[in-house]
Homo-oligomer: A and B are copies of this chain.
Amino acid sequence: MRQLTEESLTHAVLAATDTSVDPRTRDVANALIRHLHAFVREIEPSEAEWLKGIEFLTRTGHTCDANRQEFILLSDTLGVSMLVDAINHRRPGNVTESTVLGPFHVHGAPALPMGANLAEGVDGGSPAFVEGRVLDGNGKPIAGARLDVWQVRPDRLYDVQDPEQPSMQLRAVFHTAADGRYRFRTVMPVSYAIPDDGPVGEMLRALGRHPWRPAHIHFIVSAPGHAPVVTHVFVEDDPYLDSDAVFGVKDSLVVAFEERPPGMAPDGAPMETHFHVAHHDFSLSAR
């Protein structure tokens, strides 16, 4: 392993992995080495270009903190997150399709009672009522299914992007009733730009791409004995449905948020403004 050349280098690096290591680790590392070297052989970077790449990755790492995950954003915007998602969910049948988790999920959202207002204390936005059922693969309701729900604020920021505001805004966990039903009040989801003041935004601009995501509500739906699903409910007619910055839109996840005039809300409350009503069922596969 000396006097390595453009021709012999890749083989030497692969051969350096010890044969006794965990086979999956070896397979992943050696695939990484092969594909990374193939990339370099194709683009033939100058030394200055390679250093720019190193600096890009370094800034991406430095942009990550407790409230921001720039590498997930990079994976999302390069379509890799949706590819990993597709590979891991080759499920046939009538199970709810999955999409990106994204970088804004937070553990420990408060459990709220059925029908509660997810947007309590949130400024602005048009009221929306979301309801539906969690079903198994045979269309039977699942009681006690867990819905972890999070959503961007009407000002197009997640709570974690705004240290001035209380945490856990527009975040809650709901559990289905015996009939598999869930329902909650919220504000209309809005389209928003992913954080584009860091390296990922710089990359998007260099590629002539916009940073917008179509309006959606995030869900992780889970139930004992079933495979959980990480998914969204997208708002029908959003202008960004066909150019999502993270390639996450599935037709089956696009839902009408029907506008209704002032009057009685689905939960019986009198509404003095227009409001929206959406219905969406989730289906989980048995494990």
Interface residues of A (CB under 8 A from B): 1-6, 9-10, 12-13, 16-22, 25-29, 31-33, 35-47, 49-50, 54, 57-62, 64, 69, 71-72, 75, 78-88, 90, 203, 206-209, 241-244, 247, 249-251
Contact = CB atoms under 8 A, between A and B. Distances in A.
A85 B244 CA distance: 38
Nearest to A33: B78
A128 B9 CA distance: 32
A83 B42 CA distance: 12
Contact of A41 (B46, B60, B85, B87): B87
A105 B86 CA distance: 43
Contact of A2 (B10, B83, B203, B250): B250
A64 B58 contact: yes
Contacts of A2: 241-242, 244, 249-251
A28 B46 CA distance: 12
A6 B90 CA distance: 9
A251 B4 CA distance: 10
Closest CB pairs A-B (n = 7): A61-B61, A18-B208, A13-B79, A35-B39, A6-B86, A2-B249, A21-B208
A25 B88 contact: no
Contacts of A59: 61
* Identical copies of this chain, number: 2
Contact of A86 (B9, B29, B79): B9
Nearest to A2: B249
Given A21-B206, A83-B6, A39 B47 contact: no
B75 A54 contact: yes
Contacts of A26: 207
Contact of A69 (B32, B49, B54, B75): B54
Nearest to A63: B61
Nearest to A61: B61
Contacts of A43: 27-28, 31
B41 A83 contact: yes
B36 A80 contact: yes
A58 to B, nearest CB: 5
B6 A209 contact: no
Given A21-B206, A47-B84, A206-B22, A9 B247 contact: yes
A277 to B, nearest CB: 24
Given A3-B250, A40-B80, 8 more contacts: A2-B249, A4-B247, A9-B79, A9-B83, A9-B247, A22-B206, A27-B43, A61-B61
A38 B35 contact: yes
B37 A79 contact: yes
25 contacts: A1-B243, A3-B249, A3-B251, A5-B86, A6-B83, A6-B86, A9-B247, A13-B79, A18-B207, A18-B209, A21-B206, A25-B206, A28-B43, A29-B207, A32-B78, A33-B78, A33-B79, A35-B42, A41-B87, A44-B87, A45-B87, A50-B80, A57-B57, A58-B64, A61-B61
